[in-house]
Amino acid sequence: MPKNASQRNVNQPQEEAITASHITSFGVGWKKTIANVQENIVAKKTVEEDLQERLLQQAVVTELGIKALVGTDLQRLMNEVVLKLKDILKVEYTKVLELLPDGKALVLRAGAGWKKNIVINKSTVPTERNSQAGYTLLSKRPVIVKDLPNEKRFNGPPLLRNHGVLSGMSCIIYGKNKPYGILGVHTTSYREFTKYDVNFIQAVANVLAAAIQRKHDEEARKESGALFRQLAETIPHIVYQFNRKGSIEYMNKKWFEYTGASQANPNTLESYYAFIHPDDLQKVLPIWKQARKKGESYEVEYRLKRHDGIYRWHISRSSPIKNKKDNIMHWFGTVTDIDDRKRAEKNLRYLAEASKVLSSSLDVKATFDNIAKFAVPEIADCCSIDILNEKGSLDQVAVVHKDPKKMKWAKILHEKYPPDMNAPYGISRVLRTGKPEFYPSVPDALLLKIAKDKRQYTLLRKIGCTSSIIVPLFREGKCVGGITFSINDSMRQYTESDVKMAQELSARASLAIDNAWLYKGSQDAIDLRDNFISVASHELKTPVTSIKIFTQILQHHAERIGDEKTKKHLEKMDRQLNKLNELILDLLNVSKFQSGRMEFKRAVFNVDASIQDLVGVLQAGETKHKLIIKGETNKKVYADEDRIGQVLSNLIANAIKYSPKADKVLIHLSSDDKNVYICVEDFGIGMAQEHMSKIFNRFYRVFDKTDKTFPGLGLGLYISSEIVKRHHGKLWVESTVGKGSRFYFSLPLNTEDPTN
Ligand code: ADP
């Protein structure tokens, strides 16, 4: 309460300014109260008056608080504060000082009553003990001054001294981390401020502090918003924000660059969907719906339409932005182009699969077909393979189109319009350069250029091609053809990464085709050999048989006339003819097996008796090795006795041949419920493990130092194994180098035996 009411400096015009322009409707009510209370102060001063005054102060605090709350401009609020304080506390000077960042001074932000040379935002007072304000900051509580000239706690600053200030009151306007500044009131007359006055000024300072903080927060928000925009504009992704109702609030620059959309597009989520590939939208919508329902972040991949109509794969990540009450206010998201990554992944997968397919066949035609089939529709809508023929033109060795009708047209096109080998584009150029040709887009103008006439142009248009890659195929390092991949889809286009994949595929395909060709070459050679064997063995058989007959006639003749010398020569000749005959028979057998012409005359025979007979015959012609039969089968089998005899003869002949230092060969006989077992054991050179499975192949011979001395064609075991196989038996070997071998064969106790 002022001591002397008559000294109060009521500044009428200023009061007018405040009440007229700033007080809210709520404040208008209080205006009347203020006016009433003022009247009372002048009339009498009672306890009631004190109460009224405090009420008035509270009303002012409330009024200012509301203004701070509704976001009144800070400077305006400060101006009101200083005027209100001046008015309510009946003081000459009021001020809002802000502590400067260096902490050395406080600058005047708002003030009332001061001389004209005191300028808002310019005039300062020092800190620490050089001013009342500085001292207030130091003491950290409101400071009341009764008699400034005699003040001991601090020095009265020029600002106050020049204005003849005697009393005053100041308090801190608190900030978030450090004080914002000081709120002060001063009088030129002695005045005692009550604790209610102190509470009042502190309450007003607190209102100011809240308003200042709010302004700072707002600025920080604006700053971070601006920072976000700046960031969003620079990153190479699409950034968007939409509100919970689905209205687009923000799309960054990248969006407009990528889609070529106008500024207003999209303005809703629905209009955004129009840029998503229709096939993917079906997948996106449920994910989005679910995320929206749960209020959770989500991630989804889809193809997004580029300005040129091409769709590229993107990954979209979106998160909700919630307010303090946990309500979703916005959705924020990024959309990242993953098309190249996706393609690379797909291409790698394709290559891995393609390698498997390529290695699955050694047939040239099948390999070509596999390549083309495998590419469609994964990599291409149409894939064709062209290979140079002996005439120097191109054969279309494979063509696959995802639309079978168009495949027919593609074939017609090739037949009627074979590629011009001198053309400066397409497969012809690939053949000349050995490098790929890449057409990211195939405009109509190019088709017109390629087409020789209207029909070809129509066919080209019908087959359709919007993007194409042709990669070379090599054989033994020479470019011999090419694979053409093409897409017929205005929404897709090949990229460099597809070219790389196609090149890699062509490298693998070249290898596979090389192998297939090599294999075909060796197969052709084998076929040629087999043909030769078949023809030669047939052609040799007849003359050798007649030579043998004539040799025998001559042998009889020499015997009759007693020409011993000639007889011996003829006997030797006959033995060699027998060997030659055996060879011819072997060759004949081989070609019979090859062509499937080998016939068997099956009958039931006694195994033990048959073997004893045969061994007896063989022993008669063998002087060095004793052929010893061990055990017996006691079984009959249903088989071709002659052919089984042939097997046993082969094995015994080998046993004798490959055991030159031994003097016996054992023939073991045994049986069980299912089979009879015959084993020929020798004590000869034996063989290493690695040969054991191969010796049953055609023409396989073990070549080592010792073996070179043994004659043979490598056919005996092949023929034997074929015979045993056809009898549903088994032939196998156990052997140790330098110790000898055991050749076993089994024959099933055949139920086919009609007599059983
Ligand atoms: P050939 O004896 O006419 O060469 P075979 O088909 O009968 O043809 O035998 C194939 C190969 O198996 C022979 O070259 C030989 O190296 C090996 N072989 C066959 N029988 C024996 C055996 N009893 N002991 C050692 N090696 C053998």
d(CA 271, CA 266): 5
Q: Are 347 and 528 in contact (CB under 8 A)?
A: no
Place 3 in a pLDDT band, splitting at 50, 70 and 90.
very low
d(CA 505, CA 9): 97
DSSP 242-281: EETTSBEEEE-HHHHHHH---TTS-SBHHHHHTTB-HHHH
Tell me what pLDDT residue 752 has.
59
Tell me: pLDDT of 521 over 70: yes
Nearest atom within ligand 1 for CA of residue 718: 6
Tell me what pLDDT residue 22 has.
37
Nearest atom within ligand 1 for CA of residue 686: 25
Nearest atom within ligand 1 for CA of residue 700: 10
Parallel, antiparallel or unpaired: strands 93-99 and 626-631: unpaired
Report, as an integer, the average pLDDT of 9-18: 33
Percent of the chain with pLDDT over 90: 47
Nearest atom within ligand 1 for CA of residue 707: 16
Ligand 1 center–CA 715 separation, angstroms = 9
Ligand 1 center–CA 88 separation, angstroms = 128
Q: CA dihedral defined by 110, 114, 116, 120, rounded to 10 degrees?
A: -20
Secondary structure of residue 102 in the 3-state scheme: coil
Ligand 1 center–CA 625 separation, angstroms = 17
Tell me: pLDDT of 82 over 80: yes
Encode pLDDT of 459-499 as tens digits. 888 888 889 999 999 988 889 999 999 998 878 889 888 89
Backbone angles phi, psi at 665, to 5 degrees: -130, 130
Encode pLDDT of 604-657 as tens digits. 999 999 999 999 999 998 999 999 999 999 999 999 999 999 999 999 999 999
Ligand 1 center–CA 654 separation, angstroms = 6
Tell me what pLDDT residue 46 has.
63
Beta-carbon count within 10 A of 336 CB = 16
Tell me: pLDDT of 43 over 70: no
d(CA 64, CA 23): 9
pLDDT: which is higher, 6 or 290 = 290
Backbone angles phi, psi at 94, to 5 degrees: -135, 155
Ligand 1 center–CA 251 separation, angstroms = 83
Nearest atom within ligand 1 for CA of residue 701: 14
Nearest atom within ligand 1 for CA of residue 714: 8
Encode pLDDT of 424-469 as tens digits. 888 999 999 999 999 999 888 888 888 889 998 998 888 888 899 9
Name the residue at shortest CA distance from atom 19 of ligand 1.
654
Tell me what pLDDT residue 32 has.
53
Ligand 1 center–CA 633 separation, angstroms = 26
Nearest C-alpha neighbor of 241 from the set 233, 252, 231, 230: 252
Tell me what pLDDT residue 527 has.
84
pLDDT: which is higher, 18 or 313 = 313
DSSP 400-426: EESSHHHHHHHHHHHHHS---TT-SSH
- Of 627, 647, 651, 654, best ligand 1 pocket probe by most atoms within 8 Å of the beta carbon: 654
Facing residues of 169 across strands? 144, 185
Percent of the chain with pLDDT over 70: 92
Encode pLDDT of 109-166 as tens digits. 999 999 988 899 999 999 999 899 999 999 999 999 999 999 999 988 888 988 999 9
Report, as an integer, the average pLDDT of 707-733: 88
Place 704 in a pLDDT band, splitting at 50, 70 and 90.
low
Ligand 1 center–CA 321 separation, angstroms = 85
- Of 683, 717, 743, best ligand 1 pocket probe by most atoms within 8 Å of the beta carbon: 717
Tell me: pLDDT of 21 over 50: no
Tell me what pLDDT residue 705 has.
62
Tell me what pLDDT residue 460 has.
87
Tell me what pLDDT residue 4 has.
39
Name the residue at shortest CA distance from atom 10 of ligand 1.
714
Ligand 1 center–CA 652 separation, angstroms = 11
Place 540 in a pLDDT band, splitting at 50, 70 and 90.
confident
Tell me: pLDDT of 517 over 90: no
Ligand 1 center–CA 570 separation, angstroms = 30
> What's the DSSP call for residue 185?
E
- Of 661, 701, 721, 734, best ligand 1 pocket probe by most atoms within 8 Å of the beta carbon: 701
Pick from 80-84, 128-132, 594-598: least confident: 594-598
Q: Which residues line ligand 1 (CB under 6 A)?
A: 650, 654-655, 658, 682, 684-687, 695, 700-702, 707, 712-718, 741
Ligand 1 center–CA 731 separation, angstroms = 14
Ligand 1 center–CA 756 separation, angstroms = 37
pLDDT: which is higher, 420 or 553 = 553
Ligand 1 center–CA 653 separation, angstroms = 10
Ligand 1 center–CA 649 separation, angstroms = 13
Nearest atom within ligand 1 for CA of residue 684: 24
Tell me: pLDDT of 362 over 90: no
Ligand 1 center–CA 579 separation, angstroms = 16
Spacing of C-alpha 738 from chain mean position: 59
Facing residues of 388 across strands? 394
Q: Are 594 and 578 in contact (CB under 8 A)?
A: no
Q: Helix count (H) and strand count (E) of the chain?
A: 22, 23
Q: Are 691 and 704 in contact (CB under 8 A)?
A: no
Q: State the residue for tokens 């495998």.
A: 374
Nearest C-alpha neighbor of 629 from the set 652, 656, 647: 652
* 657 to 111, 575, 660, 662, 690: CA distances (angstroms): 129, 16, 6, 10, 21
Per this entry, what is the length of the chain?
Answer: 756
Tell me: pLDDT of 363 over 70: yes
Name the residue at shortest CA distance from atom 11 of ligand 1.
701
Report, as an integer, the average pLDDT of 528-536: 83
Report, as an integer, the average pLDDT of 272-282: 93
Tell me what pLDDT residue 23 has.
36
pLDDT: which is higher, 571 or 463 = 571
Report, as an integer, the average pLDDT of 710-730: 91
Secondary structure of residue 620 in the 3-state scheme: helix
Tell me: pLDDT of 350 over 80: yes
Alpha helices in 151-194 (DSSP H): 158-161
Nearest atom within ligand 1 for CA of residue 650: 7
Ligand 1 center–CA 696 separation, angstroms = 9
* Strand ranges across the sheet with 328-337: 248-251, 238-243, 328-337, 311-322, 298-305
Report the b/e string of 244-260 with b at 16+ CB within 10 A.
Answer: eeeebeebbebbeebbe
CA angle 698-701-702, nearest 5°?
A: 145
Q: Are 488 and 466 in contact (CB under 8 A)?
A: yes
Place 12 in a pLDDT band, splitting at 50, 70 and 90.
very low
DSSP 455-516: HHHHHHHHH--SEEEEEEEEETTEEEEEEEEEE--TT----HHHHHHHHHHHHHHHHHHHHH
- Of 584, 648, 658, best ligand 1 pocket probe by most atoms within 8 Å of the beta carbon: 658
State the burial class of residue 551 (Cβ atoms within 10 Å of its Cβ: 0-12, 13-18, 19+).
middle
Q: Name the amino acid, one letter, at 377.
A: P
Nearest C-alpha neighbor of 404 from the set 376, 385, 427: 376
Write down the mean pLDDT value for the chain.
86
Facing residues of 184 across strands? 95, 170
Name the residue at shortest CA distance from atom 23 of ligand 1.
655
Name the residue at shortest CA distance from atom 20 of ligand 1.
654
Element (H, E) at 217: helix 195-234
Instruction: Tell me the pTM.
Output: 0.52
Q: Is 72 left (phi over 0), alpha (psi -120 to 50) or beta?
A: beta
Greatest extent of the chain over all pairs of C-alpha atoms, in Å:
185
Tell me what pLDDT residue 654 has.
95
Nearest atom within ligand 1 for CA of residue 719: 6
Facing residues of 483 across strands? 385, 471
Report, as an integer, the average pLDDT of 396-408: 87
Name the residue at shortest CA distance from atom 13 of ligand 1.
701
Tell me what pLDDT residue 42 has.
47
